[in-house]
Amino acid sequence: MIDTEKTKFRSFYKKLRNEISIQERKNKSELIARKFLTEFLNDSYTTYFVYNSFSSEVETGDIIQKLWESDKKILIPRCNTDELTMKAAVYNPQEKLTPNIYGIAENESAVDFGEEIDIIVLPGIAFDLTGTRIGFGKGYYDRFINSLAAKPVLVGLCFEEQLCKEKLPFDEHDKKVDYIITDQQIIEISKSRD
């Protein structure tokens, strides 16, 4: 039942996101990047796990570039599509990235990164005000976050259009984000629940 509901929301919000023009997505992504960097680029955080954007997702290139220039440790996802698992690969702009079967650029020489991660920046197709996130439905991020010894700060990036005003369906294994950043606002979930 929950999977059917998720599929319905996923289809609706993916279509909505795809209808945003390329130029508007670029402009909105720049606003989101600025908000993220103002809020989270500081001495409190050292290691950032950032998704490598593709398709109509919020672009993360500016965030990754600025973190690199600020001498932060940057990790990007490396998916094992046979096992539906994900590892954290150290990002280096000199290394060649190759698209996986989903079209997401990955570091081919990736090795698992076992140290503590301070922040994970997550993509999503839809988010609600309780921090529930609907992704592509494969569970990569949920399993990856559950495998970590210490819980990092979870930051979801989306366009304002992807923010669902009603509650999205939620499974026990789903991980809620701590913050949502859109082109119009930063939502701290613990405060929005009060």
Three-class SS state of 189: helix
* Contact present, 153 and 118 (Cβ < 8 Å): yes
Which residue is listed with tokens 């819980």? 151
Indicate the fold that domain 2-127+134-193 takes in CATH.
Rossmann fold (3.40.50)
Query: pLDDT of 31-67, one tens digit each?
Result: 999 999 999 999 999 999 999 898 899 999 999 999 9
Query: pLDDT of 3-12, one tens digit each?
Result: 788 889 999 9
Record the pTM: 0.90
Q: Read out DSSP for 62-100? A: HHHHHHHHTT-EEEEEEEETTTTEEEEEE--TTS-EEE-
Question: Could you give the percent of the chain with pLDDT greater than 70?
Answer: 89
* Contact present, 161 and 17 (Cβ < 8 Å): yes
CA distance linking residue 183 with residue 135, whole number of Å: 19
